[in-house]
Every structure is written in C-alpha cells, then in structure tokens.
Chains A and B, each alone.
Chain A
Amino acid sequence: MAVADSYLSVSQTAEPARRKRRGVRLSTIADHAILIAGALFMLVPVYLALTTASHEAVHIQREGLSFGFGDDLVKNFDAALFAKGGFTGAITGTTMLMNSFILGVGFAVGKIVLSMIAAYAIVYFRLRFATFAFWAIFTTILLPLEVRIVPSYEVIQGIGLTNTYTGLIVPLLASATGTFFFRQFFLSVPDELVEAARIDGAGPVKFFIDILVPLSRTMIAAIFIIMFVYGWNQYLWPTLITTEEGLFTLVRGIRQIIQAMAEGSQIPEYGRMMALAIIAMLPPVAIVILFQSWFVKGLVESEK
C-alpha cells in the first residue's frame, strides 16, 4: 500500500512537471516572438534609412526605399555634414548639428537649474504662498507651448530676440514637470540631513550646492535625458523664432532640404536627407546611453 502510494505520488508530480516544461517552452517562444517583432518594428525603419542613405537620389526617386546598400553612403553623409544647403547656402550639417546641440544642452541645463532652484525655494523656505506658488507652477503643465506660442512669439519679437540662441532657449525654460519632480525628490530628503547641515554650519547656498545637488545626481541625469531629447526634437518654436538659416537646427534642416530642392524643380536629395536623419538620431541615443549608466548606478547604490 505504501509502495503504491508513493508510486502514485511520483507519477502525479512527474506529469505536471512535464506539462509545465512544455508550457514554459511555448510561452518562451511567444515571448521572444513578441520581443523580436517589437525590435524589428523599431529597428527596420532605422536600417532602411541607413541603406537608403547609401543610394543616389535618382535611384531613390525611381526605386523608393531600398534594403540593400548602394555605393554612395560616404558621399551622402559627407554632403549631409559638410555641403552648404538652404536658399542662401549659409548652413552645413555640422552647423545644424551644433545648433541642435546648443538648443538641447541649453534647454536641459537651463530647465534643470531653474526647476531645481524653484523646487528648493518651495520646499525649504517658509514662503507665505509656497503651496499656492507650487500649484500655480504645476497648472502650467496643462498649458503646452503650442497654446501660448503666439503671445510668446509676440514677446520675444518685441524685445528683439528673434534669430538668437537666447530667444530659442529662454522662453521654454520654465518647467513645471522638472519643478514637480525635484519638489517630490526634495520632500523625500530626510529633515535630519538639513538639520545636521545647519549644525555643521552650512548656510542655504552651501547646503544646496554641497548636499542637495550631489544627492539629486540621479534625478538630474534622468531629467537631463528627457529634456535634452525634448529640446533636440523641438520643431515648431525654432521654426517660428529663427528665420536666418545659420541658426537652423537639424530637425528643421531635414525638411528644409526637401523643400528647397523640390521648389528648385530638381530631384530632392533623398540620400542626403536620410543621412541627416540618421545623424539627427545619434546624439539623443548617445545621451541616453551615457546617462543611463549613471542612472542605473544611482538606483543600485540607493543613497539617502
């Protein structure tokens, strides 16, 4: 009886195990299929842009997007980076790259500095209307740039900042999102740390620079990624505020090339455009990769 029992129990446990293993394999296949599909969905357009960028414009005009590599990859990238373009021929790919960088970095750094200072004031100082001020800032999340773009233009134009980097960057710096994130983070910093710093003789400025800023490193990295990419991809505002081609950013420049060429009743330089699109993509990717390692390190160390 005891033998039979144990036999029974063995067969009972063995059966589900086998079924389970088969189930795992099936679900693994399904998982991977989904992952592969997702990866292809993301990567194929990039790959197509790259291969297409290696053909002559005439070829692209005739054949459309092509999967194979052509002979003109270097030539097209060279043109994208160094050939003069636009109506006036005042701008090259490198200048646009530089402009985009100035916009992206200026945007991210400016937003971080401004929103950290705002959050610092709201959280650490007994201001009479601090809560009201915070919610007033917070509600501006509901007002995206597009809503206020005409008055903003009016103001910038009025003080003569069109076609300047200042005009490009400053009006977009106030960030409710950044202020909100930093506020939440500062609220989670223990009061004891503030008190210890006070006893250690750190005034408000010292506390901010010596303690709060280093503590916020991971937060800063995260917001830098988001804001840099946001700034890099700005299209509408730069279009409105810059009319000189020397100030064009990459994202705008791509479109400018098709337009200029098409109006010139030539075949648009598709290869060069694709190359430019690839170039436009690289810096945000680099930034994400660079800051991600910081970000993960910060998460793992779990300071505070």
Chain B
Amino acid sequence: MAKVSVSNLSKTYGKGNQAVKPCSFHIADGEFVVLVGPSGCGKSTLLRMIAGLEDITSGELRIGDRVVNDLDPAERDIAMVFQNYALYPHMTVAKNIAYGLKNRGTPAPVIEQKVREAADILNLTEYLDRKPGQLSGGQRQRVAMGRAIVRDPALFLFDEPLSNLDAKLRNQMRIEIRKLQRRLGVTSIYVTHDQVEAMTMADRIFVLNDGRIEQVGTPAEIYHKPASTFVASFMGAPPMNLLPGDYNGNGSVRLNEETTIRIAEPADHKGVVKLGVRPEDVSLAAPDDGVPFQIDVVEELGANRLLHGNLAGHPFTVSVGKESDATPGLAGLRIDPSAIHLFHPEEGRRL
C-alpha cells in the first residue's frame, strides 16, 4: 500500500506526438482513482507509464517513497489487470496465479498458501486445476484479479478490465472489484472509457481529454460542477444540454429573440457563453408556462422517459419520470436557475 506522486509526467512518441501532456497529481494511500476519457485521450498511456510498460519521456513518478522511473515493471511493486485478462493459456488457474510469486523466488509452501487464500476470496477454489480456456469471461477476470492480489502489491492497475464482459456481469464485477479493493485497502488506478464505471467506482475521477487532465474530483463534483464543456458532455447519460447564448452580466442569458433564461449565480463574463443544463434538472410544464420546448421524439426507458426536441432552435433533451404523459408537440420547460452551468464559448472552461 502506498501513495503515488506524479510530477510533470509526460509521454512523447517518435515524431513529437505528445500523447500525455505534462501532468502532476497525488494519489492518497488506499484511494481508488479512475482515469476516464474517450479513446485516444492518453489514459491508457498514462497507466502504462505508471506500470512501466511505456518509457517515461519526462517527469518523475513515485510509488511509495521510491522514484520508479527507471525500474522494471516487476520491480515497481505493482499488479495489473488487463482488458483481455492476459492469462497464460497453457497454465492452470493455480499456476497462473502463482507465476509471479514463483519468479520472485517465493518458497513453494508460501505460494500454495497465498494461492489458496486468493482463490478463496475470489471463489475460484474449485477451478484451480482448470485451464483458462475452460472458464467463463467473469471467471477469467477473477483469475486475473487473483494473479494481482497474491502479490500484495503497493498499487493495483486496471486497464479497462470489464469491457469484454456482458452488461449484467459487468455490473456485478464492478461491485466485486470495489468491495475487494476496500477490503484489501490497496491504492488503485482504474482506466475506463465508461462513465458509469467511473462514477460508481471512484473515490476520485480524473477526466482526461487530448492528453490533458481536464478535471479531478469526486464523482459528485465532476457531475455537478464540470470544469469544462468537455467534462459536462462526457460525464452523464444522456449528456448535458449545451446551448449558445448571450449573458447580460446581471442574472439572465438570452438564447434568442424570444427566449431568456434566468440563472442563480452571476458569472464575471459578459457576452457570448455556452449554457449547460442536465436533462434531469428540468421540469415539464404547460405550453404557455416557462420556456417553449418542441418535443419531437419520446424515448421510453422504463424507469424514466427521454424527450428529444428543440429549444430555441437547438437540440435539447429532457429526462422525465415514468409518470409523465408527455407526447410529441409543444410544451413548456421550467429550468431550475441553480442548476444552470455557464461555460466560456471558445475555451469551454467553466465560468
């Protein structure tokens, strides 16, 4: 167990292509951090640099009290769970789990005991003599976890470990991984492109975009106070509605000739802005009440409904409860002024 400190870490590939721009952060002992972002944002590269599978171009990486920049992956005291499990297909489950310990020269009785314990924790005891090919996806992922936990590492690294599982199993494994991490108290870094995984698992989320860390915060902070239009639209499903408008500096934003929306917190920026509203922070009203909203399509999700339509000439989505009887046509919207986010029109940062 250890804290992780990163200062000015960056990765540049051959022809000056900067995959990870210099970034600095600290991860506390026992913390579960999720790196989330679209594909190509550099989250996997960052993780692989921490693992030692990619060279570090510049900056310093500390795991615990050691600078590990130039150490081999095996010497960094880490364990990694891969997307495609990366189990050795010719070895039994027990041998897969034991392989790392064997290479470290751990005495055989100790290995056996540790494998037994890990298998017990992960419900793998009856599968110890099988080969990975005879296991289901979820079981294989548990073997990969077992391989990680027997080593008692200072740091767990997860590289999209659930993306090959079906939806139901994914939910289950998500909870299992989180429980296991709590129980073992091992500092963890988890990479995913799935914002649901990020929201549900993380102590803290790092949102990455284009090789940069856009925002760091608890899931609630990320969701309720997105630092930029990118974060606002990446986190949350359906994403936040973003509309161009004109802020007059004293409490309201004009979307077009007819439509003006009141906001609660004044911002120190006048003129063109991007206005953000989450689909669920809006309530439906009669057509002559509030802001006019043209409903085009109603999507039934069971627990709630999504209304896709048009607000002041821009696409807009509203999420309403299952009791709502909205139908396509003209309606009115009441928007909670305290739920409105304002962003800089070009830079996208929060105002």
Interface positions of A (Cβ within 8 A of B): 190, 192-193, 195-202, 206, 210-211, 214-215, 217, 301-304
Question: Which of the 9-residue segments B6-14, B81-89, B226-234, B342-350 touches chain A?
Answer: B81-89
Interface positions of B (Cβ within 8 A of A): 51-53, 72-74, 78-80, 82-90, 99-100, 103-104, 131, 133, 147
Residue of B nearest to A193 (CB): B86
User: Is B82 a contact of A303 with CB atoms below 8 Å?
Assistant: no
Question: How far is B222's CA from A283's CA once the two chains are assembled, in angstroms?
Answer: 71
User: Is B90 a contact of A195 with CB atoms below 8 Å?
Assistant: no
User: Is A190 a contact of B84 with CB atoms below 8 Å?
Assistant: yes
Question: How far is B133's CA from A301's CA once the two chains are assembled, in angstroms?
Answer: 8
User: Is B104 a contact of A201 with CB atoms below 8 Å?
Assistant: yes
A residues in contact with B131, CB < 8 Å: 301, 303
User: Is A199 a contact of B51 with CB atoms below 8 Å?
Assistant: yes
- Our pick among B80, B85, B99 for the contact of A195 (Cβ within 8 Å) is B80
User: Is A302 a contact of B100 with CB atoms below 8 Å?
Assistant: no
Residue of A nearest to B134 (CB): A301
User: Could you list 28 A-B pairs, sorted by A, with CB under 8 Å?
Assistant: A192-B83, A192-B85, A192-B86, A193-B86, A195-B51, A196-B86, A196-B87, A196-B147, A198-B52, A198-B53, A199-B51, A199-B52, A199-B53, A199-B73, A199-B74, A199-B78, A199-B100, A200-B100, A201-B74, A201-B103, A202-B74, A210-B88, A210-B99, A211-B88, A215-B90, A301-B131, A301-B133, A303-B133
Question: How far is B100's CA from A121's CA once the two chains are assembled, in angstroms?
Answer: 24
B residues in contact with A195, CB < 8 Å: 51, 53, 73, 80, 82, 86
Residue of A nearest to B83 (CB): A192
A residues in contact with B86, CB < 8 Å: 190, 192-193, 195-196
B residues in contact with A202, CB < 8 Å: 74, 99, 103
Q: Which of A190, A195, A215 has most chain B Cβ within 10 Å?
A: A195
Question: How far is B102's CA from A206's CA once the two chains are assembled, in angstroms?
Answer: 11
Question: How far is B98's CA from A200's CA once the two chains are assembled, in angstroms?
Answer: 9
User: Is B133 a contact of A198 with CB atoms below 8 Å?
Assistant: no
- Our pick among B72, B74, B90 for the contact of A303 (Cβ within 8 Å) is B90
B residues in contact with A210, CB < 8 Å: 88, 99
In addition to A199-B78, A304-B89, 7 A-B residue pairs with Cβ atoms within 8 Å of each other are A192-B82, A195-B82, A201-B103, A202-B74, A202-B103, A211-B88, A301-B133
